[in-house]
Amino acid sequence: MSSAELAPVPTSPAWYAKVDRFRRWTRPVLVANLVGQIGIIVTGGAVRLTGSGLGCSTWPLCEPGSFTPEFHSAMSIHPLIEFGNRTLTGVVGIIALAVLVLLWTDTTRSTSFRRASSLPLIGVALQALIGGVTVLLHLHPAVVGVHFLVSAALVAVSAYLLYRSGEGDGQPTAAVDRRTTLVGRVLAVLAVPLLVLGVLATGSGPHGGDDEVAYRFSLDPALISKAHAASVWLFLVVLVVLTVMVLRQATAPARARKAVLVLVGVTLLQGLIGYVQYFTGLPEILVAAHMLGAGLLITSLTWTLLTLRVRA
C-alpha cells in the first residue's frame, strides 16, 4: 500500500464533523451489518425452503400495482414470507448506508479502508437487482446461486470491515512464517470451489423455492453432493495443516491461535450438519442451519486469514 493511500484526506466537507458525535456507534453498526448480511442468507433460504420464492409475482412491486402483498381470504403465507425478506433487504441497506457514512467521514482512517466501506451498500443494491431477476426468471437455480455467492462475498467484506475497524492503518506485516501464510492463502482459494459446489448441490436438490414453477440443474444430486463433500474434506485437511503450523509457532499471536481453532470447530459442525441433512432427506430446518453455518464459516475464515498478519 502506498504512503499516499495511507495518508488522511487533507480537507473534508464541513458536515463530516457533524458525524463525529455518532462515531462511537461505528463498531455496533459494523456488527449489525455483519449480522444482517448473514441473516439475509438465512431468510433468503427460508423463502426457498417454504416454497415462497414466487410469493410476490413480480419485481420491484410485489403484485401488479402494489408494493405490498394483496390481502384476501384465499392468500397463503408465501407472499408474507417473500415480502418480509424484501423488507429485510431494505433494513440491511439502511445499515450498509450507515456503515458508509460512519467510515467514509472518518478522515483519520486510510483511503483504502474508507473506500471499502462502500462495498456493503453497493452489494445490497446489486442483490436487490439479482433478486428481481430471480423472480422474473422464475427462480432459475443459476441466478439463485449467484444470489447466494454475492451474499457470501458480502459476508466476507463485512467481516473484513469489522476486523479492520479495530486495527491501525500501517503496512501489514506477517505474524507467521511464509509457509503458514501460503497455506492460509491456499485455504482461502479452496473455499471458492467449496461454495460453488454447494450451490450446485442445492440447485440440483428438491428445494426449488416454489411448488409449481422451479427449475433445477440437470445434475445427479448424489454425484454433485459427493463432489461437494470431497471439497469440504480437502478444505478440512488443509485447515488442519494450517492449524498445526500456527499452534507450533511460538511467535504466532494468541488471536491467530484462537481464530484457527474456532474455524476448525465451525468447519466440523458445518460438515456434520451437511452429512446429517443429506442422509435424512434434506429436512428444511437442517438446510437452514447449513446456510447459517455457511455465513459463520465465511466469517471465521476471513478473520482467521486476517490474524495471520498485523497492522500497526
Write down the pLDDT at residue 209. 74
For the chain, the helix, strand and coil percentages under 3-state DSSP, each to the nearest 5: 70, 0, 30
193-215: average pLDDT: 84
Mean pLDDT of 129-151: 93
| Cell output for 128 | 436487490
Mean pLDDT, residues 108-132 taken together: 96
Note whether 247 and 176 are within 8 A (CB): no
Looking at per-residue pLDDT, the higher value among 53 and 98 belongs to 98
Cis ω for the linkage preceding 60 (within 30 of 0): yes
Q: How many CB atoms lie within 10 A of CB 52?
A: 23
pLDDT score of 9 = 46
25-47 b/e with 16+ CB inside 10 Å = b?
A: ebeebbebbbebbbbbbbbbbbb
Residue 74 pLDDT more than 70?
A: no
Mean pLDDT of 104-126: 95
In DSSP terms, 63 is beta-bridged to 66
CA atoms within 13 A on the CB side of 127: 29
| Confidence band of 213 (pLDDT split at 50, 70, 90) | low
Q: How confident is the model at residue 94 (pLDDT cuts 50, 70, 90)?
A: very high
Mean pLDDT of 196-201: 96
pLDDT range class, residue 63, cuts 50, 70, 90: confident
Lowest mean pLDDT of 35-39, 71-75, 123-127, 287-291, name the range: 71-75
Q: Looking at residue 190, what is its pLDDT? A: 98
Q: How far is CA 255 from the centre of its chain?
A: 22
pLDDT tens digits, 238-281: 999 999 999 999 989 999 999 999 999 999 999 999 999 999 99
User: What span, in angstroms and rounded, lies between the C-alpha atoms of 116 and 279?
Assistant: 41
Q: With beta carbons less than 8 A apart as the criterion, state whether 210 and 51 touch.
A: yes
238 CB-near residues (< 8 Å, 6+ apart): 183, 186, 187, 190
Write out pLDDT tens, residues 271-309. 999 999 999 999 999 999 999 999 999 999 999 999 999
